[in-house]
A and B are shown apart, each in its own frame.
Chain A
């Protein structure tokens, strides 16, 4: 049997990669993909916990996370389309209207 802590370590590694992409990439589409990566890392953790603690609630929670991720992707990409229509760019550092 694979120990639970291995799954948790894998989840942490994938989550950190997602955090890195979210904070560092210039292209706004890849920033959104990093968010999906982080949500997937959380799902790995939840499902591993559900299996090892013999409780189905973890899988239900992962199910809800997937539903919210779908909603988030739809809204996020709609925002990108509106953003692209107004600024004709897909780079996060081109948005500086709030800078004093």
Chain B
């Protein structure tokens, strides 16, 4: 029985890993940016499902709301600026594209090889049972508002700077 559960889990992971890899490749290689954005939506939903699989349901919800609901809409808005007809004629990759590919493959190989010497830290206090008993959002909130209160406040400052900066950069110059 236990062996069957493990196999189902591994089959689920295999599906999500395969789908996420293929979808990221598809996102990167589309010629039309609108297609890229549409595939990226599917990719973000798959990543959110992977978070659910890792018992991080709060992060899964945040992933769907912030990425799929916020960032992708921003991207879609910027895509409207692009001249699709010209995009279809011109090459997808810049002149140094082959160098970029070589660098990415080299990075992949080196980091995959270094994975073998990874040593995990001793496990912490938040076991699955404890989180289940406390419920996930309460547990994450307790850590966020005590141990990480100062970084949390800095995050609000970063978002404020982003709002002001985006308006200043994107607005039209006033005459005179």
Per a CB cutoff under 8 Å, which of A5, A22, A60, A79 touches B148? A60
Q: Determine the chain A residues whose CB is within 8 A of the CB of B99 once the complex forms.
A: 23
Q: How far is the CA of A19 from the CA of B102 in the complex (A)?
A: 10
| B94 adjacent to chain A (CB < 8 Å) | yes
Q: In this complex, what residue of A is CB-closest to B10?
A: A2
B window 1-48: CB within 8 A of A? 6, 9-10, 13, 17, 20-21, 24-25, 27-28, 30, 33, 36-37, 40, 43-44, 47
Q: Determine the chain A residues whose CB is within 8 A of the CB of B77 once the complex forms.
A: 77
Known interface pairs A23-B103, A30-B36, A77-B77; A68-B120 also in contact (CB < 8 Å): no
A-B contacts, CB under 8 A, total: 232
Helix, strand, loop or mixed for chain A's interface? helix
Q: How far is the CA of A4 from the CA of B25 in the complex (A)?
A: 23
Q: Determine the chain A residues whose CB is within 8 A of the CB of B174 once the complex forms.
A: none
Q: Determine the chain A residues whose CB is within 8 A of the CB of B9 once the complex forms.
A: 1-2
Q: Determine the chain B residues whose CB is within 8 A of the CB of A73 once the complex forms.
A: 71, 74-75
Q: Determine the chain B residues whose CB is within 8 A of the CB of A70 once the complex forms.
A: 66, 70-71, 159, 162
Known interface pairs A10-B21, A25-B92, A33-B36; A60-B66 also in contact (CB < 8 Å): no
A window 1-34: CB within 8 A of B? 1-2, 4-10, 12-27, 29-30, 32-34
* Candidate in A17, A37, A43 with the most chain B CB atoms within 10 angstroms: A17
16 further A-B contacts with Cβ under 8 Å, apart from A23-B104, A85-B172, are: A1-B9, A2-B10, A17-B25, A50-B56, A52-B123, A54-B127, A55-B125, A64-B155, A66-B67, A67-B159, A68-B155, A70-B159, A72-B162, A74-B162, A90-B81, A90-B82
Q: A residues near B, CB below 8 A?
A: 1-2, 4-10, 12-27, 29-30, 32-34, 36-37, 40, 43-44, 47-48, 50-57, 59-60, 62-64, 66-75, 77-82, 84-85, 90-93
Task: List 24 contacting pairs A-B, 8 Å CB cutoff, sorted by A.
Answer: A1-B6, A2-B9, A2-B10, A6-B17, A14-B20, A14-B24, A16-B108, A17-B21, A24-B94, A24-B96, A24-B101, A27-B92, A30-B36, A40-B43, A51-B56, A54-B126, A59-B59, A60-B144, A63-B144, A64-B151, A66-B66, A71-B158, A74-B163, A78-B166
